[in-house]
């Protein structure tokens, strides 16, 4: 069997490897560097910057731990160089994996010729056609922008541009308090920028639990990040000295923030122009390529996975959607029934602010909206021995469970290592566990995971 995979992000390259390991001949086509958005302009470079911010904060607070140091200074070119080294190292790792004898890696721009043939314009300008039984499209997303005056001005930057800044902006205004907005707010506040975040909704992280979002906002505000919610950005006005005034409406008042750089972080949109979907009659909407539960498009030999399908734009979601598509192919494309044990409804999400936030499953608000009777169990990191010893007592955990049988429906937390802790909850939920099951499992002491158990016991 042969499969052509278009796009080499976590949706594309992980599926290519899994398919090759099953004995399938794979052609992987990439228009950009290996690793896609996640590795080159998303998860990984931002996590390298988050780590620098963490080291900086640790140095700043060293005296609290009885360590006397000089005031730390940021060597920004070195910070960015380290970030590039991290990306380069991981890209080398993927390149090594793609040397699999069943994978042919082609760099170029692919388009559909027919339902089984992809035409590729290679980097040297030559063209080649590749035929296969199936095609999987994983061409990702692009930063979205607001249709407002000044949005295209030089100095109004995207989450990609901010990763190659030459210096730390003195004043940074971030439009959007979603995941990207808050992660960069946290990092650049640590680096010394004066940061203002403007958010259209009533709370930050609109897709997260409201309670958690409120508490995280307070925690970030305490660190000196100015966050304006219910603020609708109307215009970005370039000023004569090279700075900007970002104008926004709040409570019927037009207000302004002056900044040296403006980060547009109002979401990402599927890269629908990346390939000629319409020529093959593949159904799309503004939200992305339409797929069924097996990630199959209306053209049976063509699948689409990851950001291009809209929905949850997360690297790990793309990977598991790719595996779902592969499993459907391997199972002979059944029209219904299970083809694997992957639960694509149960996808944890993490925000790498300081402290981190993470969630899995249903929020309390969602339960209410669906008329589902739920109970909420809470605990605090300030009562956790490990968190207090680490000097990181700020944080909170909420477990949402079914009121009738105690089955765990969701977990929402922020605090040290929240992004790692969420997997214990994901595992419980994956096995349909109850609060009682959780409370009965011995947790080692002193560990951060005890926060979760404390909530189950509460
Ligand atoms: P997002 O959808 O998470 O947040 C965008 C925010 O912009 C929302 O809060 C929205 O209300 C706000 N907004 C929209 N219009 C506005 C206006 N006129 N004025 C003020 N605010 C406005 O999008 P994002 O943060 O840009 O992230 C894009 C995607 O990338 C998301 O799907 C996200 O999950 C993903 N991502 C994930 C991670 C991670 O997993 N750690 C990190 C980065 C990005």
Tell me the per-residue pLDDT of 295-314, one tens digit each, with 9 for 90 and over.
999 999 999 999 999 989 99
- Is 11 within 8 Å of 41 (Cβ atoms)? no
Per-residue pLDDT at 124 exceeds 90: yes
Grade residue 230 by pLDDT with cuts at 50, 70 and 90. very high
- Is 292 within 8 Å of 154 (Cβ atoms)? no
- Is 326 within 8 Å of 15 (Cβ atoms)? yes
| 313 Cα: distance to centroid of ligand 1 (angstroms) | 10
Residue partners of 218: CB distance under 8 A and separation at least 6: none
Grade residue 28 by pLDDT with cuts at 50, 70 and 90. very high
Active-site option among 61, 100, 417, 445: 445
From residue 188, alpha-carbon distances to 256, 277, 450 in Å are 20, 39, 31
Task: Indicate if 316 belongs to the active site.
Answer: no
Q: Which residue minimizes the CA distance to atom 26 of ligand 1?
A: 267
DSSP 434: B
* Average pLDDT, rounded, for the chain: 97
- Is 10 within 8 Å of 38 (Cβ atoms)? yes
Q: Average the pLDDT over 177-197 and give the result.
A: 98
Q: 30-78: per-residue pLDDT in tens?
A: 999 999 999 999 999 999 999 999 999 999 999 999 999 999 999 999 9
**In the prediction, which pLDDT does 356 show?**
97
CA dist 167 and 173 (Å) reads: 15
Show the CA angle centred on residue 83, arms to residues 307 and 310, nearest 5°.
5
**In the prediction, which pLDDT does 21 show?**
98
Q: Which residue minimizes the CA distance to atom 41 of ligand 1?
A: 351
For β-strands 134-137 and 302-304, DSSP reports them as: parallel
**In the prediction, which pLDDT does 160 show?**
97
Q: 351-370: per-residue pLDDT in tens?
A: 999 999 999 999 999 999 99
**In the prediction, which pLDDT does 14 show?**
98
- Is 262 within 8 Å of 161 (Cβ atoms)? no
CA dist 7 and 94 (Å) reads: 13
CA dist 104 and 457 (Å) reads: 53
Q: SS3 of 95, please?
A: helix
| Residue 355, preceding peptide bond in cis (omega within 30° of 0) | yes
- Is 194 within 8 Å of 173 (Cβ atoms)? no
Encode 203-227: b = buried (16+ Cβ within 10 Å), e = exposed. bbbeebbbbbbebbbebbeebebeb
Best residue among 44, 141, 179, 358 to mutate for probing ligand 1's pocket (most ligand atoms within 8 Å of CB) is 179
| 199 Cα: distance to centroid of ligand 1 (angstroms) | 10
CA neighbor of 449 nearest in space, from 411, 408, 405, 409: 411
| 374 Cα: distance to centroid of ligand 1 (angstroms) | 28
| Beta-carbon count within 10 A of 144 CB | 14
Per-residue pLDDT at 211 exceeds 90: yes
Q: Which residue minimizes the CA distance to atom 9 of ligand 1?
A: 178
CA dist 295 and 305 (Å) reads: 6
Q: 73-90: per-residue pLDDT in tens?
A: 999 999 999 999 999 999
Grade residue 149 by pLDDT with cuts at 50, 70 and 90. very high
Kindly report the pTM of this predicted structure. 0.96
Best residue among 201, 267, 314, 316 to mutate for probing ligand 1's pocket (most ligand atoms within 8 Å of CB) is 267
With a Cβ cut-off of 6 Å, ligand 1 is lined by 146, 175-181, 183, 198-201, 206, 232-233, 265-268, 313-314, 349-352
Q: Average the pLDDT over 261-266 and give the result.
A: 98
Grade residue 168 by pLDDT with cuts at 50, 70 and 90. very high
| 9 Cα: distance to centroid of ligand 1 (angstroms) | 20
Atom of ligand 1 nearest to the CA of 419: 41
For β-strands 408-415 and 356-361, DSSP reports them as: antiparallel
Q: Average the pLDDT over 110-139 and give the result.
A: 98
Grade residue 315 by pLDDT with cuts at 50, 70 and 90. very high
Q: SS3 of 284, please?
A: strand
| Beta-carbon count within 10 A of 1 CB | 13
| 5 Cα: distance to centroid of ligand 1 (angstroms) | 28
CA neighbor of 208 nearest in space, from 352, 314, 418, 363: 363
Walk me through the domains of the chain, giving residue ranges and CATH numbers.
2-143+269-330 (3.50.50.60), 156-266 (3.50.50.60), 355-457 (3.30.390.30)
**In the prediction, which pLDDT does 311 show?**
85
């Amino acid at each position: 069997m042969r499969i052509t995979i278009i796009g080499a992000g976590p949706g594309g390259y992980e599926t290519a490897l899994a398919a090759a390991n099953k004995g399938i001949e794979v052609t992987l086509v990439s228009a950009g560097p290996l690793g896609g958005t996640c590795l080159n302009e998303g998860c990984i470079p931002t996590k390298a910057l988050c780590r620098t911010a963490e080291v900086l904060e640790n140095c700043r607070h060293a005296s609290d731990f009885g360590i006397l140091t000089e005031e730390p200074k940021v060597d920004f070119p070195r910070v960015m160089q380290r970030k590039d080294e991290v990306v380069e190292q991981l890209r080398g790792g993927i390149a090594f994996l793609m040397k699999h004898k069943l994978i042919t890696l082609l760099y170029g721009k692919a388009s559909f010729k027919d339902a089984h043939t992809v035409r590729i314009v290679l980097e040297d300008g030559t063209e080649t056609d590749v035929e296969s039984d199936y095609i999987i499209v994983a061409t990702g997303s692009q930063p979205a922008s607001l249709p407002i005056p000044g949005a295209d001005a030089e100095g109004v930057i995207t989450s990609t541009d901010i990763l190659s800044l030459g210096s730390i902006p003195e004043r940074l205004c971030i439009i959007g308090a979603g995941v990207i907005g808050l992660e960069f707010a946290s990092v650049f506040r640590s680096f010394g920028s004066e940061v203002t975040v403007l958010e259209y909704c009533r709370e930050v992280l609109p897709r997260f639990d409201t309670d958690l979002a409120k508490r995280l906002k307070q925690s970030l505000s305490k660190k000196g990040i100015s966050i304006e919610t219910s603020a609708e950005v109307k215009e970005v006005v370039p000023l004569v000295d090279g700075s900007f005034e970002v104008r926004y409406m709040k409570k019927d008042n037009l207000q302004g923030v002056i900044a040296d750089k403006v980060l547009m972080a109002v979401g990402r949109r599927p890269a629908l122009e990346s390939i000629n979907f319409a020529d093959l009659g593949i159904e799309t909407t503004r939200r992305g390529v339409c797929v069924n539960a097996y990630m199959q498009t209306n053209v049976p030999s063509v699948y689409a996975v990851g950001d291009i399908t809209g929905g949850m734009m997360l690297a790990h979601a793309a990977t598991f959607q790719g595996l779902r598509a592969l499993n459907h192919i391997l199972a002979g494309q059944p029209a219904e029934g299970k083809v694997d044990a992957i639960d694509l409804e149960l996808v944890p999400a993490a925000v790498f602010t300081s402290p981190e936030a993470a969630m899995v499953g249903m929020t309390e608000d969602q339960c209410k909206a669906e008329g589902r009777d739920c109970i909420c169990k809470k605990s605090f990191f300030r009562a956790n021995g490990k968190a207090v010893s680490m000097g990181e007592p700020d944080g909170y955990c909420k477990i949402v469970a079914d009121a009738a049988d105690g089955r765990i429906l969701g977990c929402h937390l922020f605090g040290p290592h929240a992004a790692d802790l969420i997997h214990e909850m994901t595992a419980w939920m994956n096995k349909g566990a109850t609060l009682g099951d959780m409370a009965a499992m011995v947790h080692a002491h002193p560990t951060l995971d005890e926060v979760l158990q404390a909530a189950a016991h509460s």
